[in-house]
Amino acid sequence: MTPAGRGRPGPRRALTEDEILDAALALLDEAGPAGASIRGIAAKVGVAPNAVYTYFPDKAAVVRALVEKLLGDADHGVFADRDRPWRERIEALAIDLRERLVAHPGAAALLMSGPMDGPRATAIGEQLQELLIGAGLAPTAAARSTYLLIVYVLGSIALEVADESEPGPLPSEAARIDSRRRVFEQIPAEVFPRSAAAARTMATYVSTDQYLWGLRRILDGIS
């Protein structure tokens, strides 16, 4: 007989990798990198921590898989369109990655925390090299240019989200620029004259315009 006061155990909770990654992403969005512990992820999906360990050996593995998921979910339609000019294709990919990753600042902050050697990250690098070779670069120059582009795009995004100290979604771009402007306008001109004079420009370092300005300068150099 079933002991008094105790019911029969219910069916075992089914779990998928996507559920774990969605929970990790939600926790990163809510509390930043410190919030997405294995225990926290398990609680979020309603299982014991051991169930998460069945899929991922540690938090670092969750982060790697999450970055892979975000890269793979990006819309590469224009980037893959061979009828578009090569620069337009690279810009489209860079803009899409920035929009997707800045929307999840907790995850974006982890981009530079480990090697990006998963299959989806490697596929992006492969496509970039193929595109650049097709544009006339020698294979070695294409490989070096691919690395330069990836460092610029991911580094820019990581610095952009790091500019906000509070966890959670980033304020609007206009609000962030305005907040930075108020800070930079306090720079003492008698000590840092050039920085004080450039305060309004420096405030826009987190803008789409700045991001594209830098990307286009790099593409100018590559071409």
- For 124-183, the pLDDT digits (tens) are 899 999 999 999 999 999 999 999 999 999 899 988 888 876 777 788 999 999 999 999
| Per-residue pLDDT at 2 | 47
CATH topology of domain 17-66: Arc Repressor Mutant, subunit A (1.10.10)
| Per-residue pLDDT at 170 | 83
Tokens matching residue 17 = 């990798």
- pLDDT tens digits for 166-208? 777 788 999 999 999 999 999 999 999 999 999 999 999 999 9
Alpha-carbon distances, residue 35 vs 26, 43, 177, 181 (angstroms): 9, 12, 27, 30
68 near 120, Cβ under 8 Å? yes
Residues 6 or more apart in contact with residue 215 via CB below 8 angstroms: 90, 91, 94, 149, 152, 153
For 20-86, the DSSP string reads HHHHHHHHHHHH-GGG--HHHHHHHHTS-HHHHHTT-SSHHHHHHHHHHHHHHHS--HHHH-TTS-H
- In the chain, where the domains are located: 17-66, 171-223
**66 burial class (0-12, 13-18, 19+ CB within 10 angstroms)?**
buried
Tokens matching residue 207 = 């803008």
Entry pTM: 0.82
Q: Which of 44, 74, 77, 53 is CA-nearest to residue 157?
A: 74
Q: Which of 190, 183, 116, 181 is CA-nearest to residue 153?
A: 116
